[in-house]
Amino acid sequence: MLRGIFGVTALYMFFTTLQNIPLASAVTLQYLSPVFTAVIAIFLLKEKVRPPQWFFFFLAFFGVAIMKGFDQRMDWIYFFLGIGSAFFAGLAYNSIRKVKDTDHPVVVVMYFPMIATPIMGIWSYFNWVMPGGWDWLWILLLGLFTQAGQIFMTKALQAEEANKVASLKYLGTVYALLYGYLFFDEGFQWISLMGMSLVLLGVVLNIRYKTLKAEA
């Protein structure tokens, strides 16, 4: 149930940022979740974070600071909503990891819509806008792709350490840059791109370090 509550909160914040700041910025902020996942896992799962990893986390947050400081399209409220989304996503990932020995992945995935539907159903009742035309197709595809992604992510999180699996999500920033440029005509200053690169560098170095330690 906590996985569902945390997941709904994270997604609501994420979707809000998607509608109000550039696509790649919203995705990059949300992909701080591996950092929060690793830190929360210290207390919830008793997983260790070694000194070099703290430096990698600092790189990621420094990159976020550069992004905010030089992208005037990013309002403070959506900036913090993006970070909040990453934090609650980290809580959700750790919740999945916590029940790895007791719950099947499909069960964990099913709890998400079981909790999300009543919460967001009530919310939508007061803010409903009827879809039309091609909107129905996009909404259907959104549901199908999300469900497939949830199942794959849950299986991965139950098979491997939470902070290592969550780190693979950094690829989304690359996709977001490409889609934002191709479909939404979004461009970025070089300094903002450097900030995104630092976020990715911190996350990638963290997963690489964990992999090398595991092999050693």
11 contact partners, CB below 8 Å, separation of at least 6 = 85, 116
CB 42 within 8 A of CB 48: yes
Provide the residue type at 14 as one letter: F
Give CA 35 to chain center in angstroms: 10
Distance separating alpha carbons of residues 130 and 137, to the nearest angstrom: 13
Q: Structural domain of residue 138, as residue ranges?
A: 2-123+131-215
Contacts 24+ apart (CB under 8 A), 116-123: 116/4, 116/7, 116/8, 116/11, 119/8, 120/8, 120/12
Question: Please, what is the end-to-end C-alpha distance for the chain in angstroms?
Answer: 37
Distance separating alpha carbons of residues 23 and 200, to the nearest angstrom: 16
Report pLDDT for 14. 92
Report pLDDT for 135. 92
Distance separating alpha carbons of residues 2 and 214, to the nearest angstrom: 30
Report pLDDT for 167. 61
**Ordered per-residue pLDDT tens for the chain, 216 residues:** 898 899 999 999 999 998 888 877 887 788 788 788 888 988 888 888 788 888 888 888 888 777 766 567 778 899 899 999 999 999 998 998 888 888 887 888 888 889 989 988 898 888 888 888 899 999 999 889 888 887 887 788 777 766 566 566 666 666 777 777 788 887 777 777 788 788 878 877 877 777 677 666
Report pLDDT for 22. 82
CB 8 within 8 A of CB 116: yes
Phi/psi class of residue 104: alpha, beta or left (left: φ > 0; alpha: ψ in -120 to 50)? beta
The tally of domains found in the chain comes to 1
Which secondary structure element, helix H or strand E, spans residue 168, and what is its range?
Answer: none
76-98 and 135-159 are packed helices; what angle lies between their axes, rounded to 10 degrees? Answer: 50
